[in-house]
Amino acid sequence: MTTRDTHLALRRRVVLAGALGLGLMLAGCSGGGSKSGAVELTNVSYDPTRELYQAINPAFAAFWKQKTGKDVTFRMSHGGSGKQSRAIIDGLEADVATLALAYDIDAIAEKGKLLPADWQKALPDNSAPYTSTIVFLVRKGNPKGIKDWGDLVKPGVEVITANPKTGGGARWNFLAAWAYGRKAGGSDAAAEAYVKQLFQHVPVLDSGARGSTTTFVERGIGDVLISWENEAFLAEKKLGAGKFEIVAPSISILAEPSVAVVTANAKKHGTTEVADAYLRYLYTPEAQTAIAHNFYRPRDPAIAQQFKAQFPEIPMVTIDKDFGGWAKAQKTFFDDGGVFDRIYTKK
């Protein structure tokens, strides 16, 4: 009896192993295969670019077909910028990365060694074909009378922003606030004092920009949302016209969402040429117009002129000139033991 039972157990084990292998094989087949003839480009991007690339991808496909006679299809992945960067390092095979800030692509170059460290020189304008900035979104009628950064730290004002340790957009927010503090107080010490005061007015610290927009818009928490300009326009337009107003502060920061070909992956897929053409296409007047329609600021001066009325004029500092580049800013402000840890834990 025992031998028979052992036999049975053994047989079952063999069946189990077989089923497992078969299942994985089937899954592998259905997952991997690429269509013959057509090129497939994987664009790993951050959250708010969905509509933008929905507009640009078909236009580029038509352009590419006309130029080379070949078809190109797209696989899009969206998520928090830092998380997406991590996924590419862990093996998500992006041909191009279109993320919220240069630092997240630096991380791919540094930790994943998937593209050269000087990737930012590969394309014009710091490899940022569109820009944005940081503005305020307030409730209809601006009941708290918020006009500038100074108003955010008045008694009774609740400010919504995300955690700069985890969110790309939140880092831009933090640096814009710092720029104001430095200009108003004249020193880094004054900037630190201002930012510390500002974060005492933050009731909820979400992990990413989308999360804080939802907190402000959907849950109705807070008097002012510090936000990407394109997010603010989108929230204003999509989530109830007439419920919110955009306020342009006296100083802000030029946010440069970066794009890059992930050269190691593109080489492996044989997509180097089309990936490069795709990113260069972003600088054409057609793409720049789509960019402006999706509330990003276009780089092309002629298109920018055309959409001048849409975007408020704001004096802007830049990450390279005023903060010494992302690597330095990251280390000074957001790494463990940096300025943010100091001001936020000593609340």
Distance CA 258, CA 101 (A): 6
55, 92, 304, 314: which one binds another protein (CB under 8 A): 92
Packed helices 50-68 and 285-293: angle between N→C axes, nearest 10 degrees: 160
Select from 2-10, 132-140, 194-202, 270-278 the region that touches another protein (CB under 8 A): 2-10
Burial (Cβ within 10 Å: 0-12, 13-18, ≥19) of residue 66: exposed
Nearest to 224 by CA among 311, 134, 146, 312: 146
Q: Which is nearer to another protein, 108 or 319 (CB)?
A: 108
24, 62, 117, 189: which one binds another protein (CB under 8 A): 24
Please state whether beta strands 205-206 and 244-247 pair in parallel, antiparallel, or not at all (unpaired). Answer: unpaired
| Interface with another protein, residue 27, by CB under 8 A | yes
- Near another protein in 206-245, by CB under 8 A: 210, 214, 234-235, 238-239
| Interface with another protein, residue 338, by CB under 8 A | no
Select from 58-66, 72-80, 154-162, 182-190 the region that touches another protein (CB under 8 A): 72-80
Please state whether beta strands 252-253 and 224-228 pair in parallel, antiparallel, or not at all (unpaired). Answer: unpaired
Least distance in angstroms from the C-beta of 28 to another protein? 5
Place of tokens 């041909």: 95
Select from 71-79, 194-202, 326-334, 337-345 the region that touches another protein (CB under 8 A): 71-79
CB 163 within 8 A of CB 265: no
Place of tokens 């690339």: 53
Distance CA 66, CA 308 (A): 32
Distance CA 213, CA 225 (A): 7
| Interface with another protein, residue 58, by CB under 8 A | no
Least distance in angstroms from the C-beta of 50 to another protein? 6
| Interface with another protein, residue 38, by CB under 8 A | no
In degrees rounded to 5, what are phi and psi of residue 237? -85, -45
| Interface with another protein, residue 77, by CB under 8 A | yes
The residue count for the chain: 347
As separate numbers, helices (DSSP H) first and strands (DSSP E) second, the chain gives: 16, 13
| Interface with another protein, residue 75, by CB under 8 A | yes
| Interface with another protein, residue 32, by CB under 8 A | yes
- Near another protein in 103-142, by CB under 8 A: 112
Least distance in angstroms from the C-beta of 9 to another protein? 6
Both tokens assigned to 108: 């791919």
Both tokens assigned to 21: 């292998």
Least distance in angstroms from the C-beta of 143 to another protein? 24
By the criterion CB under 8 A, which residues form the site for another protein?
A: 1, 4-5, 7-9, 11-13, 15-16, 19-20, 23-24, 26-28, 30-32, 42, 47, 50, 75-79, 87, 89-93, 112, 210, 214, 234-235, 238-239
